[in-house]
A and B are shown apart, each in its own frame.
Chain A
Amino acid sequence: MSDLFYLVTLLPLLGFLVNGLLGKKINNEKITGIIGSLMVFIPFLIASVTFFQLLSFNPEERSIFVNYFSWITAGNLEINYAFLIDPLSMVMVLVITGIGFLIHVYSIGYMHGDPGFAKFFAYLNLFIFAMLHLVLADNFLLIFLGWEGVGLCSYLLIGFWYQHKFTGEAAKKAFVMNRIGDVGFMIAMFIIFANFGTLKISEFLPQLEGYPLNDGLLIAIGLLFFLGATGKSAQIPLYTWLPDAMAGPTPVSALIHAATMVTAGIYLVARTSLLYALTPVTTQTIFIIGIVTSLLAGTIAIKQNDIKKVLAYSTVSQLGFMFIALGVFAYHVAVFHLVTHAFFKALMFLGSGSVIHGMKDEQDIRYMGGLKRKMKITFITFLIGTLAISGIPPLSGFWSKDEILYKVMSNAGTVYYIIVLISAAITAFYMFRLVSLTFYGKARYNEEKIHPHESSVMTIPLIILAVLSAIGGFIGMPHFLGVPNVFEEWLAPVFSKSYSVFESFQPSVEHSVSFEIILILISVIVASVVSWYAFKKFSKQETFEEESGFGKVLENKYYVDEVYDTVVVEPIKNVSDKFLWNIFDVKIIDGVINGIANYFSKLSFDWRKLQTGIVQDYTAISVAGVIAIILYLLLK
């Protein structure tokens, strides 16, 4: 099975090279688009076949190690170019290639006529290539390569329309924010190599087993990795780049900033779950950060008027939910929510792209309204996505969010349950506000100039994603319904050790079935009531007043960007400008370096005179050399 598996990563690279190098020569959108899409679709097929083959093995044997070649060898450090195909990475690969393929197809329509069409597909393929390395690698360094690769692609694609100033700045912001997180990742790698002598995950995790709970070293590693995760997965304090990243083309927002790349942090924590299970302190940090982020981003989303900004803050909030799940030691639940979120959030982003495309690049929902009739498919699919994210049964988001709520209840307590429930209610509120303002009510745009429409290349992916959003949750239904939770069983071998560690210090609480049903009913009722309230409140709204009071604080995103500016950016600028540059750099460093450089260039001009161009001189110097060597050999 692994015979063909190398194609999974090779083909996207090939697509990148073909479209990147020859794209301009081909100069045919169809060919470029088909190449780009196929190079993701074929890996999806291969991954699916691999998936079914894995399924035929015993659960304990579903972890395959494929070593292609040794990449770097230096002393103790041995880095292999090797993949670990196990249930967790398989899930990620299927999500990346599957949703990635749909978004590639969608982009054919969305990017139609763009002068950078081929470049766009090249970058998308490169992104898939890097992302696959991130999830498949069995080595922190190779993961880091993918980690940086997706960061680079994200940067390139956010700034894709670089003609606008703000896209460039958004790209830069995303890059810098991510770099801060990357420092954490790198230091964590250094610590691991220094203390465990390996960078292979499959060698690192088994070594952890003897460690006591809350060991200082492990806490440090865990927190540093989590710092990396907050950068990539947009959590407090490094989340502010994600809303700005919406400056990129919408398919990019769907693929990178909703479905795949931003989940890298969750994947990293899940992959090293044993580390976090052994350090409850780190896990609690993750839990708190997850809760605060989801509340903060959710409340901001209520007052945003840019359709993509709302979705962006929603993404931050949902990522917070995944970290909440990780924070209550429910690793498979986090991955489950990751998958369902990938379905419905990609769907909604693509839907918003369809709206923006149809509305001639209008993104402000205050100037939309009444699109229900004109963009039917977009509307229906978007509504399915909204219902799913709001937690309305039996759509996919309901099952995963409910599982998170249940785990919070049983592993963290009632107080936290209520907080998370409020956060979930906020989700339903802003999502229905978005749907109501966009699709219901009267048209608030100039109907003579703008004629909303849909194109079929773009709606087909929407329909497929809508189906997935609707039924995707059935893979992970709770036990009391009597159906097997296939998703949990599938991931069980990956997390079994972490769960047994967790159970060793916190015996699992068995709740009665009726208690579970009560919890579910509560969340369903809350979600429905809030959704209905939001729908009623906003579907008729026609005028928009200036926000005041707390609403203004929310509209301005709690002024976090401004605070960062004054507290971090400006002081650093001042120090670097006044001291580091003018005194330290110019006087001290430059002085020393220029001195050395001048010395060597003078030396160079002197020595150059030896090169006379006369053969006799050369011979004489050579003979002198021969004499020196023979003298040494005789006298030594």
Chain B
Amino acid sequence: MEWKLELILFVLLSVMAVFSAIMMVTRRSPINSAIFLIINFFASAGIYLLLQAQFIAVIQVLVYMGAIMVLVIFVIMLLNLQDESKLSEQFSYKKLTSLLLSVLLFCLLGFSVFFGFSGKFTSISGEAEKLGTAESLGKELVLAYSVPFEIAGLLLLAAVVGAVVLAKKSFD
């Protein structure tokens, strides 16, 4: 029963994620795009929850939906962005090729992943449930994964410096 509920939830959330992703890319108004992005993040957070990764789900909601998206919408509002103008709407072989290539790639990867993993997974173990908590995640990060954790810190520092360099109005 519970398994069935999970399945239904998963299908629902996945459809939501894919649909919102497509909508986000195709909308012409930035605000609409941003809203679909929020929906997309929300759906992902739901999938994390289904995977027993409570902490990441919460962080996803807090950081991405809460902080980043607010910032994005602020920027859009402040800059008063116009709707994307029509660049080239006419049908071209280039577009068709790109579409075909994307579909082909999707099929290939989907096919290989589906048949590659089919029958290899068991239901979620109790251990996984424990791992999803903030406590165990924190322990792992600080003990076993401290090196990548530190490096990620440096990476963020580099990115911040870079962003400042590119965005600063003038030097000196």
Q: Name the CB-closest residue of B to A620.
A: B98
B12 in contact (CB, < 8 A): no
Segment 72-125 of B: residues with Cβ below 8 Å from A: 94, 97-98, 101-102, 104-105, 108-109, 111-112
Set of chain B residues within 8 Å of A194, measured between Cβ atoms: none
A624 in contact (CB, < 8 A): yes
A534 to B112, CA, bound (A): 103
Is there contact, CB below 8 Å, between A617 and B94? yes
Set of chain A residues within 8 Å of B102, measured between Cβ atoms: 623
- Chain A's nearest CB lies how many Å from the CB of B130? 36
A70 in contact (CB, < 8 A): no
Set of chain B residues within 8 Å of A623, measured between Cβ atoms: 98, 101-102, 105
A627 in contact (CB, < 8 A): yes
A617 to B95, CA, bound (A): 10
Is there contact, CB below 8 Å, between A627 and B108? yes
Q: Name the CB-closest residue of B to A622.
A: B101
Q: Name the CB-closest residue of A to B97.
A: A620
Is there contact, CB below 8 Å, between A634 and B94? no
A17 to B4, CA, bound (A): 83
Is there contact, CB below 8 Å, between B98 and A616? yes
A620 to B103, CA, bound (A): 12
Is there contact, CB below 8 Å, between A634 and B112? yes
Is there contact, CB below 8 Å, between A630 and B101? no
A624 to B111, CA, bound (A): 17
Is there contact, CB below 8 Å, between B94 and A630? no
Is there contact, CB below 8 Å, between B98 and A627? no
Segment 613-636 of A: residues with Cβ below 8 Å from B: 616-617, 619-620, 623-624, 626-627, 630-631, 634
A88 to B18, CA, bound (A): 86
A302 to B7, CA, bound (A): 114
A626 to B101, CA, bound (A): 10
Is there contact, CB below 8 Å, between A627 and B94? no
Is there contact, CB below 8 Å, between B101 and A624? yes
A617 to B97, CA, bound (A): 10
Set of chain A residues within 8 Å of B104, measured between Cβ atoms: 627
- Chain B's nearest CB lies how many Å from the CB of A632? 11
Q: Name the CB-closest residue of B to A623.
A: B101
- Chain A's nearest CB lies how many Å from the CB of B154? 29
Set of chain B residues within 8 Å of A620, measured between Cβ atoms: 94, 97-98, 101
Q: Which of A617, A619, A624, A630 contacts B112 (CB 8 A)?
A: A630
A627 to B98, CA, bound (A): 12
Set of chain B residues within 8 Å of A626, measured between Cβ atoms: 105
Set of chain B residues within 8 Å of A627, measured between Cβ atoms: 101, 104-105, 108
Set of chain A residues within 8 Å of B98, measured between Cβ atoms: 616, 619-620, 623
Set of chain B residues within 8 Å of A630, measured between Cβ atoms: 105, 108-109, 112
Segment 17-41 of B: residues with Cβ below 8 Å from A: none
Q: Which of B97, B101, B105, B108 contacts A634 (CB 8 A)?
A: B108
Is there contact, CB below 8 Å, between A631 and B94? no
Set of chain A residues within 8 Å of B94, measured between Cβ atoms: 616-617, 620
Most buried by B among A616, A617, A620, A634: A620
Segment 47-94 of B: residues with Cβ below 8 Å from A: 94
- Chain B's nearest CB lies how many Å from the CB of A624? 6
A620 to B99, CA, bound (A): 9
Set of chain A residues within 8 Å of B112, measured between Cβ atoms: 630, 634
A601 to B94, CA, bound (A): 27
A499 to B112, CA, bound (A): 79
Segment 139-173 of A: residues with Cβ below 8 Å from B: none
Is there contact, CB below 8 Å, between B105 and A631? no
Set of chain A residues within 8 Å of B109, measured between Cβ atoms: 630
A275 to B109, CA, bound (A): 71
A624 to B97, CA, bound (A): 10
- Chain B's nearest CB lies how many Å from the CB of A270? 65
- Chain B's nearest CB lies how many Å from the CB of A330? 75
Segment 55-76 of A: residues with Cβ below 8 Å from B: none
A479 to B81, CA, bound (A): 110
A619 to B104, CA, bound (A): 14
A619 to B94, CA, bound (A): 12
A241 to B29, CA, bound (A): 88
Q: Name the CB-closest residue of B to A617.
A: B94
A627 to B97, CA, bound (A): 13
A623 to B109, CA, bound (A): 12
A630 to B105, CA, bound (A): 9
A631 to B107, CA, bound (A): 11
Set of chain A residues within 8 Å of B101, measured between Cβ atoms: 620, 623-624, 627
Is there contact, CB below 8 Å, between B97 and A631? no
Set of chain B residues within 8 Å of A619, measured between Cβ atoms: 98
A616 to B102, CA, bound (A): 12
- Chain A's nearest CB lies how many Å from the CB of B121? 21
A631 to B109, CA, bound (A): 10
A623 to B100, CA, bound (A): 11
Segment 577-636 of A: residues with Cβ below 8 Å from B: 616-617, 619-620, 623-624, 626-627, 630-631, 634
Set of chain B residues within 8 Å of A634, measured between Cβ atoms: 108, 111-112
- Chain A's nearest CB lies how many Å from the CB of B61? 31
A626 to B102, CA, bound (A): 11
A616 to B88, CA, bound (A): 13
Set of chain B residues within 8 Å of A617, measured between Cβ atoms: 94
Q: Name the CB-closest residue of A to B107.
A: A627
A623 to B104, CA, bound (A): 10
Segment 170-191 of A: residues with Cβ below 8 Å from B: none
A169 to B101, CA, bound (A): 69
A561 to B98, CA, bound (A): 77
A623 to B94, CA, bound (A): 13
- Chain B's nearest CB lies how many Å from the CB of A617? 7
Q: Name the CB-closest residue of A to B99.
A: A620
A624 to B98, CA, bound (A): 9
Set of chain B residues within 8 Å of A624, measured between Cβ atoms: 101
- Chain B's nearest CB lies how many Å from the CB of A623? 5
A616 to B98, CA, bound (A): 9
- Chain B's nearest CB lies how many Å from the CB of A184? 63
A623 to B98, CA, bound (A): 9
Q: Name the CB-closest residue of A to B98.
A: A620
A153 to B104, CA, bound (A): 67
Q: Name the CB-closest residue of B to A614.
A: B94
Enumerate the 10 nearest inter-chain pairs by beta-carbon distance, A residue then B residue, closest first. Answer: A623-B101, A620-B98, A630-B108, A627-B105, A627-B104, A623-B105, A620-B101, A624-B101, A634-B112, A620-B97
Q: What are 12 A-B pairs with beta-carbon distances under 8 A?
A: A616-B94, A619-B98, A620-B98, A623-B98, A623-B102, A627-B104, A627-B105, A630-B109, A630-B112, A631-B108, A634-B108, A634-B111
7 further A-B pairs in the complex, CB-CB below 8 A; given A623-B101, A634-B108: A616-B98, A620-B94, A620-B98, A623-B105, A626-B105, A627-B101, A634-B111
